[in-house]
Amino acid sequence: MSTAVQFHDQHPGEAGPSFRDEVIQGLGATPKALSPKHFYDERGSRLFEAICEQPEYYLTRTEEGILSRAADEIAARVGPDSLMVELGSGASRKVRLLLEAMRPRRYLGMDISRDFLLQSTRRLAADYPWLEVHAAWGDFSRRLELPPGIEGRRVVAFFPGSSIGNFTPREAEAFLARLRRALPPGSGALIGVDLVKDQGILEAAYNDAAGVTAAFNLNLLARMRRELGAAVEVDAFRHRAFFNAPASRIEMYLESRQRQAITLDGQRFAFEQGETLHTENSCKYSVAGFQALAARAGYRSRAVWCDDEALFSVHYLSS
């Protein structure tokens, strides 16, 4: 097998995921809000990797521990000769914990951050010469279909990191139903889901002492300036993250320190002092709550693995 990565554009003919349009729409909305998918330009993807290393951010290391320990069991459920599709593959780090045990035939990484995706999948292909590696650049919230020429009898979608928490429960259910229809019947899904827990632990994970999460959040404004030429005073905003217990989610905001405006394409978006731009929801589930959601989406829950402290869960579902 060559170490070349086969590249696929999921939105051919389009200008790329529409950051500009969505910023104009989101800043014009009441209340102001923007999808967290826009965090992940190259710099944002790197900052996210740094978040994963912070001592307060228990999610990554806990999930990695679960995957390492369950790799053989997961492999037994999925079976050999599979196609593994990773949604939001980022640095393609977690899949490495499964590859030797699972021995899939093909790996397809899907991500919105083009250069980051290419670098990561190239490294993966170099490190696993027996694996056929594909990279699909796109926004999987808009397009989930497998690129042409990639099929597999046994397909498993790998959606780690609790990225599914970025959807509201309603959206997550619709997304899983769409995923089920996009893949051949009998396909599996291996999904990492962060669990509800003590509010202090949750809030610390999104307010790390080193300020990496703050930098990640504020990078959204810097990205507007870099990529769109927006006039925006990044330092005039502050990072906010807290647990909304009734909604069972962490909410992140950029809060304006003063009365000011962001200008983009001749349009002026005014902020009052204290006014916020909502940038992320990160929903937290109980094991049973997530299994019920998956069932509503037409999936059967086949197995679930957790760490000893019940911080995080990994679910194996099949259609």
Match 């826009």 to its residue by tokens.
38
Instruction: Closer to ligand AVJ by CB, 138 or 165: give it.
Output: 165
Query: In whole angstroms, how close is the CB of 34 to ligand AVJ at the nearest point?
Result: 13
Q: Is 51 in the site for ligand AVJ (CB under 6 A)?
A: yes
Element (DSSP H or E) covering residue 83:
strand 83-87
User: Which residues have C-beta within 8 Å of that of residue 65, sequence separation ≥ 6?
Assistant: 307
Q: Is 59 in the site for ligand AVJ (CB under 6 A)?
A: yes
Query: In whole angstroms, how close is the CB of 186 to ligand AVJ at the nearest point?
Result: 28
Element (DSSP H or E) covering residue 220:
helix 212-228
| 10, 121, 162, 187: residue in contact with ligand AVJ (rule CB under 6 A) | 162
Report the site for ligand AVJ in 282-311 (rule: CB under 6 A): 282
Token couple for 273: 């002092």
Q: Is 213 in the site for ligand AVJ (CB under 6 A)?
A: yes
Q: Is 132 in the site for ligand AVJ (CB under 6 A)?
A: no
Q: Is 280 in the site for ligand AVJ (CB under 6 A)?
A: yes
Q: Is 313 in the site for ligand AVJ (CB under 6 A)?
A: no
The span of 62-70, 134-142, 163-171, 303-311 binding ligand AVJ (CB under 6 A) equals 163-171
Instruction: Closer to ligand AVJ by CB, 19 or 206: give it.
Output: 206
Burial environment of residue 55 by CB neighbours within 10 A (0 to 12, 13 to 18, 19 or more)? exposed
Task: Determine the Cα–Cα distance for residues 220 and 218; give it in Å rounded to an integer.
Answer: 5
Query: What single-letter amino acid sits at 211?
Result: G
115, 44 Cβ separation under 8 angstroms = no
Task: Determine the Cα–Cα distance for residues 90 and 98; give it in Å rounded to an integer.
Answer: 16
Q: Is 187 in the site for ligand AVJ (CB under 6 A)?
A: no
The span of 14-22, 111-119, 155-163, 257-265 binding ligand AVJ (CB under 6 A) equals 155-163
Task: Determine the Cα–Cα distance for residues 181 and 291; give it in Å rounded to an integer.
Answer: 18
Q: Which residues bind to ligand AVJ, rule: CB under 6 A?
A: 51, 59, 161-163, 165-166, 206, 213, 280, 282
